Amino acid sequence: MDTSRLRVVKSDRYETFEDFWPFYVSEHLHPATRALHYLGTTVSLVLIVLGAVLTQPVLFLVAVFAGYFFAWIGHFFVEKNRPATFTYPLYSLLGDYRMYWLALRGKMGAQVAAVEASGRFAD
């Protein structure tokens, strides 16, 4: 299935994170986009730990930049969509960490497959 044009039908406003999650997954269908998110999340987590251990607050700012830098490359150049961060900053951040945790456990592929199979897509 060509997933390059598939998107979950977007709501006017998501009231819960669970309602937002299928949309979030649909914005991360390409494996390269997810890989860039995982890279950015890993780098940002390492920088957060280093910032705490070394008591270097500037590393917290660099962590934010690093996480978004890699994720946005995936959105703008691979997935060719607008990051959900612009509309749903908290849900998007929660989605990043949920996606990361599911990937670490080998369960993110099932989430992508479920969203693709749901048929709730719009061009």
Residue 27 in any domain: the answer is: yes
Task: Tell me whether residue 38 is in a domain.
Answer: yes
In a domain, 12, yes or no: no
The structural domain count of the chain equals 1
For residue 4, being part of any structural domain is answered with: no
3 vs 37, 50, 86, 96, CA distance in Å?
18, 38, 22, 20
Confidence (pTM) = 0.85
| Residue 78: inside a domain | yes
Mean pLDDT of 86-110: 96
- Establish if 26 belongs to a structural domain: yes
Is residue 85 helix, strand or coil?
helix
The reply to whether 96 falls in a domain is yes
Residue numbers of the domain that contains 95: 20-117
Burial of 114 (0-12, 13-18, 19+ CB in 10 A): exposed
Q: Give the DSSP H or E segment for 17.
A: helix 17-26
Instruction: Read off the pLDDT of residues 43-68 as tens digits, 9 standing for 90 and up.
Output: 999 999 999 999 999 999 999 999 99
- When pLDDT is cut at 50, 70 and 90, the band that residue 118 belongs to is confident
Helix axes 108-118, 89-104, angle to 10 degrees: 120
CB 74, CB 36: distance < 8 Å: yes
Confidence of residue 11 (pLDDT cuts 50, 70, 90): low
Separation CA 123–CA 121 (nearest Å): 7
